[in-house]
């Protein structure tokens, strides 16, 4: 059995964001295997198309106790981490559609619902509980840099 063929004794991983309870499946070439949990909390496995180098699905959020925050966009809880669903990648902690490409963002990934934005983020405003760079700035690794 190779990465292009499913094991004839075991079903192939599904290529959609649902779970497969079979630990012995292999993903096709160009796909990545993820361990997730189904609704009952049982371990399950899925394959997602691999992202280009330098991209990530990991939003930085956790979901071991509670589910992923809806502000992160379309995510799945994988090994206690909030991971973007198939067709999305993480930009500053939020899942963005792959078809939109990598664009700069003003969202620092910081929150300000209870306290204001931290000063190290630079010139920001609190918008709907998120620390957003002021006009004329964009976020680079959570800090606002002049455009």
Cα–Cα distance, 131 to 108 (Å, whole number): 6
Taking only the tens place, the pLDDT of each residue in 80-93 is: 889 888 778 888 88
Cα–Cα distance, 64 to 100 (Å, whole number): 30
Q: CA 105 from chain center: how many Å?
A: 16
The pTM of the whole model exceeds 0.85 = no
The chain-wide mean pLDDT, for the chain, equals 74
Q: Are 33 and 47 in contact (CB under 8 A)?
A: yes
Walk me through the domains of the chain, giving residue ranges and CATH numbers: 1-50 (no CATH), 52-102 (no CATH), 104-147 (2.10.25)
Taking only the tens place, the pLDDT of each residue in 91-138 is: 888 888 776 555 457 788 889 988 889 999 999 988 888 888 887 788
Q: Which residues contact 82 (CB under 8 A, 6 or more apart)?
A: 58, 59, 60, 61, 62, 63, 68, 69, 72, 75, 76
The pLDDT of residue 117: 92
Taking only the tens place, the pLDDT of each residue in 8-31 is: 434 445 444 445 555 556 677 777
């Amino acid at each position: 059995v190779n990465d292009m063929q499913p094991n004839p004794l075991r079903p192939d991983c599904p290529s959609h964001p649902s779970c497969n309870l079979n630990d012995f499946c292999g993903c096709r070439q160009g796909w990545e295997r993820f361990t997730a949990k189904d609704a009952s909390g049982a371990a399950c496995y899925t394959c997602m198309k691999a992202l280009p180098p330098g991209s990530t699905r990991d939003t930085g959020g956790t979901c071991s106790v509670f589910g992923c925050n809806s502000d992160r966009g379309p995510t799945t809880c994988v090994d206690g981490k909030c991971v973007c669903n198939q067709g999305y990648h993480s930009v500053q902690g939020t899942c963005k559609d792959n078809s939109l490409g990598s664009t700069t963002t003003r969202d620092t990934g910081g929150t300000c619902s209870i306290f204001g934005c931290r000063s190290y983020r630079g010139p920001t405003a609190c918008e709907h509980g998120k620390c957003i760079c002021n006009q004329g700035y964009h976020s680079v690794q959570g800090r606002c840099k002049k455009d």
